[in-house]
């Protein structure tokens, strides 16, 4: 089953040229490797499928990677942003300035999603997080290593709300 996501993302990577205002996916990962994947459920509802891709066969915070979330239901962008900030705050305190700035940026970046919508977050291994809708459209980026660590840490660090996701994404 790993071949299909890999083919889809390789097709995505090869079809993308340089995107305005952010790192291109082509620059990020060629070839791309599926590191791990998981499904997130809330109570009985399937919320999203998540997959971690990286250039190397192992995940590292110092190297580029991509997290792709494919949603199974409609969720308002403002609700995704609010929950993301809440999860980031659980990892480490955010200053009021950070919280305000990141909320404004994320509200401009994260759209309302529907069943089948995918959002891909790409980290360049240094300080830029770029976001894409359905493998086609650049949504925006945030330049902050701290933001990247906390945002992607929602899934890539041990998490009390979804403890199995971390291990599955990292292929453990």
Residue 6 Cα distances to 11, 43, 121, 170, angstroms:
8, 29, 16, 16
What does the domain layout of the chain look like in residue ranges?
3-169
pLDDT at 27: 53
Three-class secondary structure of residue 6 per DSSP: helix
Q: What is the radius of gyration, based on Cα positions, of the chain?
A: 15
Question: Are the C-beta atoms of 41 and 78 separated by less than 8 Å?
Answer: no
* Ranges of H-type helices in the chain: 3-15, 25-28, 77-91, 96-109, 145-156, 163-169
CA angle 47, 50, 55 (to 5 degrees): 170
pLDDT at 64: 92
Q: For each successive 10 residues of the chain (172 residues), what is the average pLDDT?
A: 40 35 50 88 90 88 94 96 94 94 97 96 92 92 95 87 83 78
pTM of the model: 0.82
Fold (topology level) of 3-169:
Chalcone isomerase (3.50.70)
């Amino acid at each position: 089953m790993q071949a299909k996501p890999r083919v889809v993302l390789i097709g995505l990577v090869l079809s993308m040229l340089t995107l305005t205002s952010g790192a291109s996916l082509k620059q990020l990962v060629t070839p791309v490797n599926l590191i791990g994947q998981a499904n997130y459920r809330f109570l009985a509802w399937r919320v999203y499928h998540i997959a971690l891709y990286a250039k190397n066969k192992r995940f590292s915070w110092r190297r580029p990677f991509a997290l792709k979330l494919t949603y199974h239901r409609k969720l308002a962008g403002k609700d995704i942003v609010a929950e993301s900030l809440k999860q980031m705050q659980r990892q480490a305190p955010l200053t009021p300035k950070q919280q305000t700035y990141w909320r404004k940026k994320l509200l401009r970046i994260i759209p309302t999603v529907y069943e089948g919508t995918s959002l891909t977050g790409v980290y360049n291994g240094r300080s830029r997080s770029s976001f894409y809708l359905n493998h086609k459209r650049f949504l925006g980026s945030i330049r902050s290593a701290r933001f990247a660590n906390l945002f992607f840490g929602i899934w890539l660090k041990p998490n009390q709300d979804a403890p199995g996701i971390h291990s599955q994404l990292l292929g453990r």
